[in-house]
Amino acid sequence: MGVDVPVSSREAVFHEEFREDLAWWSSQRPRIARKVVSLASAILEESVAARELGQPLRHALKGCWTRRLQGEHRLVYRCEPNAVHFLQCRYHA
């Protein structure tokens, strides 16, 4: 008897800065890298309203959301109806 794993119909778009940040976490702090992947997966599976439970950003990043990783480090993402853009995951206070 298998377990059904929900598959998101939303596309995950990983921007270059996000990929670089995740590579840094993977080499320096693997536990945080796992947290980034876990949060990204959860965000993709959530409804639009739930995805926006993080803190909304203003100014240059208006329309983006953030979830805390540790200290000044945040996962920054932008939600669209059919995609979630993951922008960065280091140094956003």
Residue 93 lies in a domain: no
Q: What is the pLDDT of residue 15?
A: 97
Residue 78 lies in a domain: yes
pLDDT at 1 over 50: no
Question: What CA–CA distance (Å, rounded) separates 63 from 16?
Answer: 19
Q: What is the pLDDT of residue 51?
A: 58
DSSP 8-state symbol, 49: H
pTM more than 0.75: yes
Residue 1 lies in a domain: no
> What are the tens digits of pLDDT across the range 38-75?
999 988 887 665 655 788 898 988 989 999 998 899 99
CATH code of the domain containing 47: 3.30.2310.20
Residue 6 lies in a domain: no
Please state whether 91 falls in left (phi above 0), alpha (psi between -120 and 50) or beta: left
Give the number of other CB atoms < 10 A from CB of residue 71.
Answer: 8
Residue 3 lies in a domain: no
Residue 19 lies in a domain: yes
69, two tokens: 């990783």
Residue 41 lies in a domain: yes
**Domain encompassing residue 43:** 11-88
> What are the tens digits of pLDDT across the range 17-32?
999 999 999 999 999 9
> How many domains, the chain?
1
Q: What is the pLDDT of residue 9?
A: 72
pLDDT at 90 over 70: yes
Q: What is the pLDDT of residue 28?
A: 96
